[in-house]
Structures are given as C-alpha cells and as structure tokens.
Amino acid sequence: MSLIKWKEEFSVGVLEVDYEHQALIELINNLHAAVMEGVTREQVVAGLGEIYAHIAAHFALEEKVMQESHYPSFSDHKIDHETLLDDLRDIMDEVEDDGEFNEPQLATDLDRWFSEHFRTHDAKLHKTFRH
C-alpha cells in the first residue's frame, strides 16, 4: 500500500518538476514499504538520506524555475523548502541517534511533510504555471 498517491493536482505544469515530484513520491513509498517489511535502522537512515539528497536537488531545480520566471512568492516558497529540509534532517538525526524509529510516526511525518508542501506552496506554483 502506497503512503502517498500521485494526484494530478500535484502537477505544477513544468515537466521536469512534475517528474521529480513523482520520483520523490516513489522514493517515499519505497521507504515506507521497506519499513513495513521490517528493515534495519541503517537501512532507514540510508533511505532517508536518499530522499534528502533527491529533495535537496529537486528544490534547487524548483527554485531555479521560480527565479527564472520571476515567481512572486519565491521567498516564502524557498523558506518552506529550507524548513522542510531541516525537518527531514531532524527525522534522520532522531533515527540515527535513538537507534530505533517509530514506523507510524515516520510514515505520518513523511506524508504530512510532503503533502502539506504540495497543498500550500506548490498549489500556488501550480496556478502560476498552469495559466
């Protein structure tokens, strides 16, 4: 069972950005499935690290697109990106430091983290690029 399902409303109308959104959802869903199967703490940390690396690269692309198009909400969107990366780093640190992780909490955090950004900041971006 997927943690996050792709929805057309997640599309911002920029092919590269939309492709990366789908790839990030797949990474999160793969980690969630692995956790449900009982992976080790090290595997969770590695999976989170892969998600972190992809998200950081994705945010750089998204920010480049926003700057090039003179997107009016760029500053707020960038601040949310930084907050999300900090939050993910905190999750990674907790898993590394505690030696354990709470699977339901990890799933909730990843879903909330990703979906909330889509519902707020990326929804505004969607409106800009789809019109």
Q: What is the structure's pLDDT at 100?
A: 67
Amino acid sitting at position 126: H
Q: Is residue 45 part of a domain?
A: yes
**Does residue 105 carry a pLDDT above 80?**
no
Give the Cα separation of 27 and 51 in Å (integer).
6
- Is there a contact between 115 and 100 (Cβ–Cβ < 8 Å)? no
Q: Is residue 9 part of a domain?
A: no
pLDDT tens digit sequence for 57-101: 989 988 998 899 899 989 999 998 998 899 888 888 888 887 666
Model confidence at 56, pLDDT cuts 50, 70, 90, reads very high
Q: Is residue 8 part of a domain?
A: no
Give the Cα separation of 51 and 28 in Å (integer).
7
Least confident interval from 12-26, 27-41, 82-96, 110-124: 110-124
Q: Is residue 88 part of a domain?
A: yes
Q: What is the structure's pLDDT at 130?
A: 64
Q: Is residue 2 part of a domain?
A: no
CATH number at residue 67: 1.20.120.50
Nearest to 40 by CA among 90, 101, 88: 101
Q: The whole model's pTM is what? A: 0.83
**Does residue 131 carry a pLDDT above 60?**
no
Distant-in-sequence, close-in-space partners of 50: CB < 8 Å, separation ≥ 6: 27
Sign of CA dihedral 11, 15, 18, 23: positive
The secondary structure of 15-82 as a DSSP string is HHHHHHHHHHHHHHHHHHHHHHTT--HHHHHHHHHHHHHHHHHHHHHHHHHHHHTT-TTHHHHHHHHH
**Does residue 107 carry a pLDDT above 80?**
no
Domain that holds residue 77: 14-130
Q: What is the structure's pLDDT at 28?
A: 87
Q: What is the structure's pLDDT at 60?
A: 93
**Does residue 55 carry a pLDDT above 80?**
yes
Domain count, the chain: 1
Q: Is residue 72 part of a domain?
A: yes
pLDDT tens digit sequence for 60-71: 988 998 899 899
